Amino acid sequence: MTTRNCKVLVIGAGPGGYVAAIRAGQLGLDTVIVEGDRAGGTCLIRGCIPSKALIHAATVFDDLSKHSSKTGHMGISIKSKPKLDMPDLISWKDTIVGKLNQGVEHLLKKAGVELVKGWASFKDAKTCTVSTSKGDLEICAEHVILANGSESIELPFMPYDKHVISSTGALDLDKLPKQLAIIGGGYIGLELGIAFSKMGTEVTVIEALDRILPLFDKELVRPVSLWLKRHKINVHLSSKAEGVERKGRKSIVTFSDSKGKKHKLSTDKVLVTVGRRPRTNGWGLENMGVDMDGNFIKVDNRCQTTMRNVWAIGDIVGEPMLAHKASAQGEMVAELIAGEKRSFDPVAIPSVCFTEPEIVSVGLSPNEAEEEGIETVVGKFPFAASGRALAMDAGSDGGFVRITARKDNHLVLGIQAVGAHVSELSGEFISSMEMGAVLEDISGTIHVHPTLTEAFHEAALASLGHAIHISK
């Protein structure tokens, strides 16, 4: 067995791991990163990036379908209906993923990081054996960064197969299903469900809670609920999936409603999106001597575990399970190992849901601020009053930007938005909060006309009681 000693060993080349490795390499640290799949992790290979590619393609198809109607749309008519070639769509998506995967590997190499492809198994806190195509490799490190990520939760009564699929399977379908049943009305299920609906699939959502998208407040979710209703996506709330059986070419899903009444749903595919769990099993975590916090690895505000010089980042350390959180933690840990003084203490971590319309949330909602006993002022500006939104055919979906601030000093506590393309506003939202902006900072900043960012400016003005482009 070959042995490799290094300063830093990173486990997992996802958005947390590869960022940590690149930064460590930039800082001159001898760094090895181990990845059992392809560099990029769940987000790049089978999550964020491929799903957004699918969502974009579905939106393009839906837009073309509007133009091919008898009356056309926006004065533009297409004589024939658009055709969808699912294998070609998947191939286009895979091309994007491939380019980004190669890009990550190139960046690792340029930073002087050694990428080892294989599965690691730890025998103690600083030593692991990696099974590679060239044989076993033992790696001993001074510092270990655990960035193992998370995995889809599989329901015991609905095991994955070619008919019951996870989000990964949904992104690799070579044939568009006529019917799709989605178990779970969270962001993953609805993002994919809306995309498939746009492509022509009949979609049904079964959600155990009494509402969809429970991570966002009801006011933000309302425009999404209206879109689902208008596009005839059946949503069964307070309903629990109980099992699935195969009859002929169909899968029959059994579920019960809030009153205990059982229902059966015939469908082509069943997509299970009931959440994700940290990947803590199967690689020797039990041999590393680190403490746990429930299902997650326990860390402090520097991502240090209870074992000296063992660090953990990303999905494996707790909510929110977001790629950008993992990347920020990875960069910080690399700098800590290099001797810099850092801590992970963000004002807020933005979250985005790529539904129709999109949702962005940063910081506290008005209700959350109230629950904390904070007296607030709230301003809201609808995209129906935005010239840019209307010119993009995007102002009639009920979307808006909302700002919550302290009443006494006008410090911004939270910013939320729902509407077309609002994900692109998230950077301005979080920058404002990290810099400790008050309402006067935002209202006094000149925003470009015509852009969607003007809605942010107007929401601040509304909070102060003098919005320009809406009446009280």
Q: What are the pLDDT digits (tens) for 199-244? A: 999 999 999 999 999 999 999 999 999 999 999 999 999 999 999 9
% of the chain exceeding 90 in pLDDT: 96
Q: For CA atoms 414, 218, 62, 454, give the dihedral sign.
A: negative
Non-local (6+) Cβ contacts of 398 within 8 A are 222, 223, 226, 357, 382, 384, 418
> Is there a domain that residue 188 lies in?
yes
Do 387 and 364 belong together in one domain? Answer: yes
Residue 472 has pLDDT above 80, yes or no: no
Do 142 and 29 belong together in one domain? Answer: yes
Rounded mean pLDDT, 15-22: 98
Q: What are the pLDDT digits (tens) for 262-314? A: 999 999 999 999 999 999 999 999 999 999 999 999 999 999 999 999 999 99
Do 20 and 145 belong together in one domain? Answer: yes
Residue 356 has pLDDT above 90, yes or no: yes
Domain that holds residue 85: 2-150+278-337
Provide the 10 A C-beta neighbour count for residue 211: 14
> Which CATH number goes with the domain that contains 435?
3.30.390.30
**Amino acid 368: pLDDT:** 97
Do 170 and 240 belong together in one domain? Answer: yes
Do 42 and 121 belong together in one domain? Answer: yes
Do 407 and 376 belong together in one domain? Answer: yes
Residue 250 has pLDDT above 90, yes or no: yes
Whether 469 is catalytic is no
Rounded mean pLDDT, 175-179: 97
> Which CATH number goes with the domain that contains 55?
3.50.50.60
**Amino acid 69: pLDDT:** 86
Do 245 and 119 belong together in one domain? Answer: no
CB 418 within 8 A of CB 394: no
Helix (H, G, I), strand (E, B) or coil at 149: coil
pLDDT band for 414, please (50, 70, 90 cuts): very high
> Is there a domain that residue 345 lies in?
no
Contacts of 133-140 spanning 24+ positions with Cβ under 8 A: 135/1, 135/2, 136/1, 136/2, 137/1, 137/2, 137/3, 137/4, 138/1, 138/2, 138/3, 138/4, 139/3, 139/4, 139/5, 139/6, 139/9, 139/32, 139/34, 140/3, 140/4, 140/5, 140/6
Rounded mean pLDDT, 349-378: 97
**Amino acid 215: pLDDT:** 93
The last residue of one of the domains, among 225, 256, 274, is: 274
**Amino acid 1: pLDDT:** 79
Q: How far apart are CA 221 and CA 307, in angstroms?
A: 42
**Amino acid 471: pLDDT:** 86
**Amino acid 91: pLDDT:** 97
pLDDT band for 149, please (50, 70, 90 cuts): very high
CB 23 within 8 A of CB 50: no
**Amino acid 377: pLDDT:** 98
**Amino acid 343: pLDDT:** 96
Do 234 and 216 belong together in one domain? Answer: yes
> Is there a domain that residue 346 lies in?
no
Do 77 and 32 belong together in one domain? Answer: yes
Non-local (6+) Cβ contacts of 56 within 8 A are none
Q: How far apart are the first and last CA of the chain?
A: 74
The last residue of one of the domains, among 250, 274, 298, is: 274
Q: What are the pLDDT digits (tens) for 441-458? A: 999 999 999 999 999 999
Residue 96 has pLDDT above 90, yes or no: yes
pLDDT band for 12, please (50, 70, 90 cuts): very high
> Is there a domain that residue 468 lies in?
no
Q: Whole-model pTM?
A: 0.95
Residue 101 has pLDDT above 80, yes or no: yes
Catalytic: which of 106, 263, 449, 466? Answer: 449
Do 184 and 232 belong together in one domain? Answer: yes
> Is there a domain that residue 175 lies in?
yes
In the chain, how many domains are there? 3
% of the chain exceeding 70 in pLDDT: 100
CB 11 within 8 A of CB 148: yes
Rounded mean pLDDT, 70-82: 90
Do 116 and 8 belong together in one domain? Answer: yes
Do 112 and 168 belong together in one domain? Answer: no
